[in-house]
């Protein structure tokens, strides 16, 4: 098994994404448009980059953290100045709406702003020794060259989640962006280098899974951070374990929104629509399951059906400005196959359930889909990564019992990334946010839209990851190692636990 996200029976060459040793990046909203081309790195190229990363690390780690922060501050000025330019490129590269693309570039700015401040807060700890005239303190130090393997759906923001804490802690990195959206990652690294980072501190490598695997396995790599599927994450974790490397995994999700009958239905309508169909449902935090009390289910479904149909004009084969294409034909066909299988299993199709454009007209678009399902159906437990909302109705005598049943359904899943609940009952709402088995929880908000920095820590439970966190203070743990220093100024030998 390799890290490659493309199945063996449909290689990159088969999909037309590789030509003459180059990755061809096309706009999924307009597949006749080539956005960028990138030469695939050879093993010799990768070896040179790894060596350069190691050599740069030996110098970069010696700079004071506040000095390293100054480099990030210079880069952040450039990101802010070029926000619109970078947003337009991102919009073309993976097709996400321009408004979302602008938000993603703003996320880089926000993440950097937070970690720039951490350059003056690289705190350690001091403690009391059990012996006189002796001091004990523990500090954090950088680890070494890191490799980042990132996904196509947030090709600019996710690299920033990894790079900002890695750099501020004194590590160097090589980014291997997704072969489906490599340009934004390259431009991210370009900005860092333009800001004056020493040569080799920030680099980019291009290719598919074999490139990522080579980088992750290499003895010079000391940290591996990946955003991807559970299967890929498990394989990367094995590679990291064999080399005793630090490893951060941000993997899949099957996220639920619970709606109790006392909820504000206008807010539910807006929240679920955004959570399920934002970015075309192609977020690891997308709302995939709606667990709702039966007494209000029909009204909410009717509202969502009406709103979802406005996301694509079938007559003119044109999507709304706030709707995204599917990243490629392979994923488009996979989504449709999963919906068809769900219907065969007994799911009721409310709306959607069809391919709107297979590239014949413009790009790859799937209809916003609503299915009424039973808990336990495959579609209710498997990550779709597309605009498909599975509705599970619960019919209980009171809100308390309804919430109890809804929580069982929400938590009966291998993933644990993001969940939410809509209710005006603060007692039940607080009970739910504590009982959800997920790293992210929202009260009266959708499952998407995680903030960065401050008290926010992005990551999941269970098969969604290995406990690492990104875009917040806990990310520093991935990129540092502890050193305990004992200073004895007694002038004599003191033996702990003996003298």
The answer to whether the beta carbons of residues 121 and 115 sit under 8 Å apart is no
Tokens of 237: 């974790």
Which tokens belong to 274?
């955004």
Contacts of 62 (CB under 8 A, 6+ apart): none
CA distance 35 to 25: 6
Using alpha carbons, select from 497, 429, 4, 444 the residue that is nearest to residue 216.
4
Whether 290 and 260 have beta carbons less than 8 Å apart is answered as no
Q: Tokens standing for 112? A: 């950097």
Question: CA 89, 212, 246: angle at the middle one, nearest 5?
Answer: 110
Joined tokens for residue 272: 């679920």
Residues in the chain: 499
Q: Which two tokens stand for residue 126?
A: 């001091």
**How far is Cα 6 from Cα 253, in angstroms, rounded to an integer?**
19
> Counting Cβ atoms within 10 Å, is residue 136 exposed (0-12), middle (13-18) or buried (19+)?
middle
| 430 in Cβ contact with 445 (< 8 Å) | no
SS3 for 350? strand
Residues catalogued as catalytic: 250, 284
Calculate the alpha carbon distances from 319 to 129, 143, 370, 448 in Å. 66, 46, 18, 21
Strand ranges for 46-195 from DSSP E: 125-128, 134-142, 146-149, 173-176
């Amino acid at each position: 098994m390799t890290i490659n996200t493309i199945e063996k029976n449909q290689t990159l060459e088969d999909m037309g994404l590789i030509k003459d040793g180059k990755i061809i990046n096309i706009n999924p909203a307009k597949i006749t448009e080539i956005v960028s081309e990138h030469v695939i790195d050879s093993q010799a190229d990768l070896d040179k980059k790894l060596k350069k990363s190691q050599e740069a690390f030996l110098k970069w780690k010696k700079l004071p953290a506040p000095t390293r922060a100054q480099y990030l501050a210079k880069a952040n000025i450039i990101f802010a100045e070029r926000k619109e330019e970078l947003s337009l490129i991102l919009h073309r590269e993976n097709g996400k709406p321009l408004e979302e693309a602008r938000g993603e570039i703003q996320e880089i700015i926000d993440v950097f702003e937070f970690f720039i401040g951490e350059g003056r807060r690289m705190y350690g700890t001091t403690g009391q020794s059990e012996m006189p005239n002796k001091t004990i303190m523990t500090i954090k130090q950088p680890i070494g060259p890191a490799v980042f393997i990132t996904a196509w759906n947030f090709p600019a923001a996710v690299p920033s989640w990894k790079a900002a804490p890695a750099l501020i802690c004194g590590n160097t990195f090589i980014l291997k962006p997704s072969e489906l959206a490599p340009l934004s990652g390259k431009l991210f690294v370009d900005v860092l280098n333009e800001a004056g980072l020493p040569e080799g501190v920030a680099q980019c490598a291009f290719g598919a899974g074999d490139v990522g695997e080579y980088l992750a396995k290499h003895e010079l790599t000391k940290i591996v951070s990946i955003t991807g599927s559970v299967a890929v994450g498990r394989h990367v974790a094995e590679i990291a374990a064999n080399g005793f490397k630090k490893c951060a995994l941000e993997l899949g999700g099957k996220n639920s929104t619970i709606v109790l009958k006392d909820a504000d239905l206008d807010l539910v309508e807006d929240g679920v629509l955004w959570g399920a169909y934002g970015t075309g449902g192609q977020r690891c935090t997308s709302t995939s399951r709606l667990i709702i009390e039966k007494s209000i289910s029909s009204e909410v479904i009717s509202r969502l059906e009406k709103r979802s149909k406005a996301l694509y004009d079938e007559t003119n084969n044109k999507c709304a400005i706030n709707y995204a294409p599917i990243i490629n034909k392979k994923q488009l066909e996979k989504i449709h196959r999963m919906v068809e299988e769900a219907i065969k299993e007994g799911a009721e199709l409310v709306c959607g359930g069809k391919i709107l454009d297979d590239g014949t007209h413009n790009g790859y678009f799937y209809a916003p889909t609503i299915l009424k399902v039973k808990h336990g159906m495959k579609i209710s437990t498997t990550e779709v990564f597309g605009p498909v909302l599975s509705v599970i109705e619960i019919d209980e005598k009171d809100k308390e019992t309804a919430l109890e049943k809804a929580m069982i359904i929400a938590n009966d899943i291998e993933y644990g990334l993001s969940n939410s609940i809509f209710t005006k009952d603060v007692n039940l709402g607080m009970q739910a946010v504590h009982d959800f088995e997920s790293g992210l929880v929202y009260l009266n908000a959708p499952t998407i839209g995680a903030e960065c920095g401050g008290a926010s820590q992005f990551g999941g439970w269970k098969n969604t990851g290995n406990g690492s966190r990104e875009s917040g203070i806990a990310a520093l743990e991935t990129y540092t190692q502890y050193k305990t220093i004992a200073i004895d100024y007694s002038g004599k030998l003191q033996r702990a636990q003996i003298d």
